[in-house]
Structure 1
Amino acid sequence: MGANSDIMTSPLDLPQVWQKPCYEALLDTLASLELSPPIWNLRRKRSDILVEQESLASQRKGEVTRYLSTIIKSPLAWIEDDDRREHLWEQASRRMSERCGRTAMGEVVRRWPFGGADGVAYEPFELIVREPALTGDSLGFKTWGSSYVLSQHLPRLSASSLFRLFDESLGQPPPSVLELGSGTGLLGLAAAALWKVPVALSDLPNIVPNLKHNADLNAALVEARGGSLTVGPLTWGGSEDEIDQGLFGTPFQFKLVLAADPLYDDDHPALLASAISQHLALGPDSRAVVMVPQRDATTARLLVAFKQAMLDLDVPLFCDEEDELAGQDDWIEDDEAGAVRCWLGIFSRGGTPQSLC
């Protein structure tokens, strides 16, 4: 939110252009009207899911939009410095675009808080993630709500379903982790920080530069907590030049494979199943953890196809456990958060499946 987001007066009480306010007054006002993407606290009611503080701008959207228009349209002639006038117009235009939905917002930086959850206590920390402007084919430039849901669920998984991989009494090294379709990297970053393990983040070649930026941005925090990060391109079913051969050229490397919100078209279920099979380590202890939000009939159909694709592999991957977690998607109907059911499945190579999910 903006620096003065606790201002709760009417936009009519803000500095008006007919009053010819000084540059500093207008600049401070525009800063107070900044809108940021929501961060969800999963322990709060849906009505409280949006950002911790609601700004004047989010409460009085129409009035604020009209107010911003007066600044954009004004020549601001009483402000003598050309650069200062340009800066005010630029800031007013940004505040206007923020009220036109996520696509219009341009680049944003979001801070994701982590603390004790699901009965597992740990020292709180915060991850910082950059999301570039959403233009064209940009699904990988948005942090989807299911990534945060699964991220906060990781400590409970390591203490329960994945316990054998993290059991220090067995004298084994920490499990190596691969995240498929990392996007902005929130889930993989959280895994490295919470599990104190090496995590490889991967996505399409055009997504990797921003993914690498976010890994670098959080590397010091992750390393201080005992984890580490590597990043590289890994296109499911892609040619050799679309896959970082140094990181991902050797099959069956990773004891844990993660994927959150990975299914968007009819090709994805088989491609994802094949990618998991190729990179998941052999043996009965390795696990793949997959989360699929059930937004509509299409995502439900893709999930069914994915489950079947896992069973249709030459060496099937069985769903040992499944769960359903409450999640949120942002940017539903502009700046309202939308509840969504998130299916969680844990797959293994060996043994008799407890469930075919």
Structure 2
Amino acid sequence: MAPAVEDLPQMWQRPRYASLLEALQSLELSPPIWNHKRRRSDILAEQESLATQRKAAATRYLSSIISSPLAWLDDDDQREEVWARASKRMSERCGRTAMGEVVRAWPFGWDGVHVPYEPFEIVIREPALTGDSLGFKTWGSSYVLSQHLPRLGATSLFRLFDESFGEPRPDVLELGSGTGLLGLAAAALWKVPVTLSDLPGIVSNLKVNVERNASLVEARGGGPLRVGPLTWGGTGEDEVDQGLFGQPRQFKIVLAADPLYDDEHPALLASAIEEHLSLDSEARAVVMVPQRDDTTMRLRDAFKAAMVALKSPIICDEEDELAGQDDWVEDEEGGHVKCWLGVFSRRKTVGSEQIE
């Protein structure tokens, strides 16, 4: 927890440069790591801690630094550094979208009761959120689905991982990877090769995160990892990496988390899945959509309809609902959101009836 503002060095005391940096470091805020399996008491304690740090007193203190000429500091570079850090601390109190770059570790293997597998962490870099940079944000549903992957592998997708069938581990594609958390988790937990994809402007940061976590994935028996641009509905060389995606229907598992943001996305996502999902009868597409409001639920329903309307329909075999959180809102619910999970497969049709 941050120290009380009255205990920090005040401007009238003409504090040294090092003391100011230490004070500003103590006021740093980072988005919470959410975990839908955590105890409610822990979540409430974290929310209370964050609320305390965001008190108006901290904002006033930061304002006093930004408005001060810091004339007692002889070095211009030092003054600029103090002002920059104070401004950053101020922006952090304006919510996640106002924050600068964030690097945070996402824990796996501990659900508050037992350890189902050896714990590990995936470290993700999230650049500052500016303009249309939704892909630079790690959305809550990707973490929820990432943690749910072992259960999916043992149930809905078990035939793809059952060694008695003698098949190699399935190739996995993540559509709209964003920062790459879900695809990296799939590689580490399922021990599979994974290809991560997103819009061209998102891929550079995606590659940074893949490179950062490549040794972890390899140590756990996963990989190789591949990354490239894949614009849904795009055809240009800059929009689609033909080396990775030029061959259609090569992936036995297609993953997507929080992929729907406007009215064009349901049809585009359905088309992308149809293009890249293997024709194998065991191939599956796994999609998670957070049900934040009426709009996201309408887009979810439009996506399900678009999958059925494909020339070769892809049917939702299983549906589930998981609880998660988003750190992009600050409300009484603490960003809690229910996430819809759909597992899809190809079906052959004879007349008007579907058959396995």
Same fold per superposition (TM over 0.5): yes
CA contact (8 A) 1:179 1:257 kept: yes
C-alpha distance 49-104 of structure 1, shift in aligned 2 (>3 A) = same
Q: What does the per-residue CA deviation read over 1:294-334, in whole Å, with 9 as the maximum and x for residues that have no partner?
A: 11111111111111111111111111111000011112138
In 2, Cα distance between equivalents of 1:132 and 1:7: 24
CA contact (8 A) 1:39 1:50 kept: no
Partner secondary structure for residue 207 of structure 1: helix
Cα deviation, residue 54, structure 1: 6.6
| Matched positions, count | 347
Which residue of 2 is the match for residue 136 of structure 1? 131
Question: Residue 304 in 1 paired to residue 293 in 2?
Answer: no
Which amino acid in 1 is paired with 2:161?
A: F
Cα deviation, residue 293, structure 1: 0.8
- Higher mean C-alpha deviation, range 319-328 or range 44-53: 44-53
CA contact (8 A) 2:35 2:144 kept: no
In 1, Cα distance between equivalents of 2:333 and 2:24: 22
Cα deviation, residue 50, structure 1: 7.6
CA contact (8 A) 2:2 2:27 kept: no
Within the candidate set 309, 312, 317, 1:315 is matched to 312
C-alpha distance 220-52 of structure 1, shift in aligned 2 (>3 A) = farther
In 1, Cα distance between equivalents of 2:200 and 2:342: 27
Which amino acid in 2 is paired with 1:39?
A: I
Question: Residue 24 in 1 paired to residue 18 in 2?
Answer: yes
- Higher mean C-alpha deviation, range 65-74 or range 119-128: 119-128
Which residue of 2 is the match for residue 174 of structure 1? 169
Question: Residue 331 in 1 paired to residue 328 in 2?
Answer: yes
In 2, Cα distance between equivalents of 1:195 and 1:206: 28
User: What does 1:204-215 align with in structure 2 at a 5 Å threshold?
Assistant: 204-215=199-210
Which amino acid in 2 is paired with 1:210?
A: N
User: What does 1:177-326 align with in structure 2 at a 5 Å threshold?
Assistant: 177-228=172-223, 229-241=225-237, 242-326=239-323
Question: Residue 113 in 1 paired to residue 138 in 2?
Answer: no
In 2, Cα distance between equivalents of 1:318 and 1:73: 60
In 2, Cα distance between equivalents of 1:73 and 1:56: 25
Cα deviation, residue 80, structure 1: 2.1
Cα deviation, residue 82, structure 1: 2.2
Which residue of 1 is the match for residue 143 of structure 2? 148
Which amino acid in 1 is paired with 2:67?
A: K
Cα-Cα RMSD: 2.2
Within the candidate set 315, 322, 341, 2:338 is matched to 341
Cα deviation, residue 46, structure 1: 5.0
CA contact (8 A) 1:37 1:51 kept: no
Partner secondary structure for residue 81 of structure 2: helix
CA contact (8 A) 2:290 2:339 kept: yes
CA contact (8 A) 1:293 1:299 kept: yes
Within the candidate set 65, 73, 76, 1:79 is matched to 73
- Higher mean C-alpha deviation, range 199-208 or range 108-117: 108-117
Partner secondary structure for residue 28 of structure 2: coil
Normalising by structure 1, we get a TM-score of 0.92
Which amino acid in 1 is paired with 2:188?
A: A
In 1, Cα distance between equivalents of 2:30 and 2:109: 21
Which amino acid in 1 is paired with 2:132?
A: D
In 2, Cα distance between equivalents of 1:309 and 1:91: 48
Partner secondary structure for residue 136 of structure 1: coil
Cα deviation, residue 61, structure 1: 2.5
Q: What does the per-residue CA deviation read over 1:129-167, in whole Å, with 9 as the maximum and x for residues that have no partner?
A: 111111111111111100000000001110111111111
In 2, Cα distance between equivalents of 1:200 and 1:336: 35
**How many percent identity over aligned positions?**
73
Which amino acid in 2 is paired with 1:109?
A: V
Which amino acid in 2 is paired with 1:196?
A: K
